Amino acid sequence: MEQAPLIVGAGPTGLSAALFLAGGGVQSRIIDKAPAPSINSRAQVINPRSLELLQQTGVTDAILHEARPIHRVVFYQDWRPLTELEFGHAHPDFPMAVLPQARTEALLADALAVLGVVPERGTALGSFEQDSDGVDAVLISADRSESFRAPIMFAADGAHSKVREALGITLEGSSFPEDWPLYDIELDDPLVPRVPMSALWRAAWCSCFALSPASGGCLAISQSH
């Protein structure tokens, strides 16, 4: 496949980029160093603007078919309701939708496969050099190293981007000083599906989302120390 755009990273950003390109008639080559997609939930909420952007690809319908729309979050402090955050009117057409990131990525990959593009997993960007006409990339997989020339390379390799580092581009934004572990837990007692709960204690903040109607009690907890 010569002269195909190269997309590095098959997370939501890379998959979406490949999908938009394929929808416009451009077949890209998309690689990911991980041998298989992640099975962890990670991002749990898809915001309305993302759904609006993805609508043209058909993925929004697939997401809304599986996801749980949410219209408010209830905050508790010391086991008592403290306040509620309403966002049901954030967008005229689309809700906030709760879906584990692993499922969002699977739906994006399914739509991409229909258009003939399949991520090459277990293939990492080793190094690259760019000139005025394109990029020479070295792609590394378990059994070989390959040189690939692309007219353009799209870096979707995440927060620890090798491409960003090589180009000396810093990751802008701010971060919390403490760790925020996140757990996917199967519960016997289901949560209220459409009302995520956020509980505040003096030393911790714990958010619970009912992730899956089928499991009846799969949730993710973010907790600060």
Ligand X SMILES: Cc1cc2nc3c(=O)[nH]c(=O)nc-3n(C[C@H](O)[C@H](O)[C@H](O)COP(=O)(O)OP(=O)(O)OC[C@H]3O[C@@H](n4cnc5c(N)ncnc54)[C@H](O)[C@@H]3O)c2cc1C
Interacting residues toward ligand X by CB under 6 A: 8-14, 31-34, 42-45, 101, 124-125, 156-159, 162, 182
At closest approach, how far in Å is the CB of 101 from ligand X?
A: 5
User: Which two tokens mark 214?
Assistant: 């089928």
In this complex, which beta carbon is closest to ligand X, that of residue 79 or of residue 219?
Answer: 219
For 14, 105, 116, 184, the CA distances from 60, given in Å and listed in that order, are 17, 12, 19, 24
In this complex, which beta carbon is closest to ligand X, that of residue 80 or of residue 175?
Answer: 175
Q: Which residue's beta carbon is nearest to the bound ligand X?
A: 11
Residue among 209, 191, 214 nearest 97 (CA) = 209
In this complex, which beta carbon is closest to ligand X, that of residue 45 or of residue 195?
Answer: 45
* Alpha-carbon gap, residue 182 to 214, rounded angstroms: 21
Rg, Å, the chain Cα set: 20
At closest approach, how far in Å is the CB of 33 from ligand X?
A: 4
* Alpha-carbon gap, residue 103 to 101, rounded angstroms: 5
* Alpha-carbon gap, residue 167 to 179, rounded angstroms: 28
At closest approach, how far in Å is the CB of 37 from ligand X?
A: 8
In this complex, which beta carbon is closest to ligand X, that of residue 47 or of residue 188?
Answer: 47
Q: What angle do CA 52, 214, 74 make, to 5 degrees?
A: 65
At closest approach, how far in Å is the CB of 223 from ligand X?
A: 11
Residue among 67, 54, 56, 136 nearest 98 (CA) = 67
In this complex, which beta carbon is closest to ligand X, that of residue 132 or of residue 173?
Answer: 173
How buried is 34 (Cβ within 10 angstroms: 0-12 exposed, 13-18 middle, 19+ buried)?
middle
At closest approach, how far in Å is the CB of 12 from ligand X?
A: 4
In this complex, which beta carbon is closest to ligand X, that of residue 132 or of residue 174?
Answer: 174
Provide the Cα torsion 57, 62, 67, 73; round to 10°.
30
At closest approach, how far in Å is the CB of 80 from ligand X?
A: 25
